[in-house]
Structure formats: structure tokens, C-alpha cells
Structure 1
């Protein structure tokens, strides 16, 4: 496999991953960004652990989707991440327009 073929394959995988993200993002409540990965999740808990300058973060997520092109199964029921850098958690805005139930 040439480097051009490999680059084309990775580009196609990234595009497929973006399309999957676009299709599933509405199913989740939070976006979580760590130093290594990007996640979508419906439940997030961040706990600061350690003492003094030896601080780390323990991030626990439920019903998560992992942004990783090399991971064959991106959905996970429970995820636990330990990181030594900051964690960014954002709540996703739900659509401003929702059709009321029973009113079609």
C-alpha cells in the first residue's frame, strides 16, 4: 500500500466518522474533550483526585460515543478516563424547535 493509498483511506475514514458523529450527536447531552479523545455522552462526572501538585482527573461517562477512527465499536455503556490535563465538558443545546407530543 502506497502512502497515497493510506492517506486516501484515512481521509475516507475521517469523513465516515464525521458523518456518523453528525447522525448521532442529537442523541447525547454532553461533549467531553480530554487530552487524547473526544466523546459524546448522556452522563458525565468529573472528579479531581490527588494531592498538591500531583492532581489528576477521573472522568466517568455513561452512554458514550467515542471519536476514534480506529475503534470498531464507538458506542460504550460506561467509560472511565484518567487524565492529567484539563477536561472540557459542555452541555449540548437541544433544538430550539421541538414538535409538542401528540400534535402532528
Structure 2
């Protein structure tokens, strides 16, 4: 597979993932962003932990969806995530107030 073919494949997978996100976002209450992943979830608990002088965050998610093109099962009932950088949690507006572009994410 050439570099261009791989890039086209990954671009198509990202577009498919965005379309899935657009279809399911209304099922969730929260958007959670860590340094490695992006999640949708209906319950979120973030706890700061220290071990050996290091600070990290334990994030517990329930009824979650994972933004990952390489993951075949993106819906998970319960997930525990460890993050060594800040964790951003945002509550989503009610579905009627949520406006997403139909064609895909904006490219800058």
C-alpha cells in the first residue's frame, strides 16, 4: 500500500467515524477529552490521584462511545481511563440545541 493510499484510507475512516459520531452524539450527556482519546459518555467521574510524587487522573465512564478509527467496538458499558494530563469534561446541550454540520468536520 502506498503512502497516498494509506492517507486516503485513513481520511475515509475519519469521515466514517465523524458520521457515526454525528449519529450517536444525541444519546450522550458528556464529552470527555484526554491526551489520547475523545469520548462521549452518560456518566463521568474524574479523580486526581498521586503515586510516587506523580499526579494523574482516573476517569471512570459509563455508557461510553470512543473516538478511535482502529477500534471495531466503540460502544463500551464501563471504562476506566488513566490520564497524565488535564481531562476536559463538557456537558452537552439538549439534543434539540445541538447543531452539527451534515457533511463532516470543518477542515482548517
Normalising by the residue count of structure 2, what TM-score does the alignment of the two structures yield? Answer: 0.85
Q: Which runs of 4+ in 1 moved over 3 A?
A: none
For 1:34 and 1:4, locate their aligned partners in 2 and report how far apart those are by CA, in whole Å: 29
5+ residue gaps, structure 1, are 97-104
Give the structure 2 partner of residue 58 of structure 1: 58
For residue 86 of structure 1, give the secondary structure of its aligned residue in structure 2: coil
Larger C-alpha radius of gyration, 1 or 2?
A: 1
Give the structure 2 partner of residue 101 of structure 1: none
Aligned length: 96
Q: Give 1:54 deviation, angstroms.
A: 1.6
For 1:4 and 1:80, locate their aligned partners in 2 and report how far apart those are by CA, in whole Å: 36
Q: Give 1:51 deviation, angstroms.
A: 6.1
Q: Is residue 2:77 matched to residue 1:80?
A: no
5+ residue gaps, structure 2, are 98-108
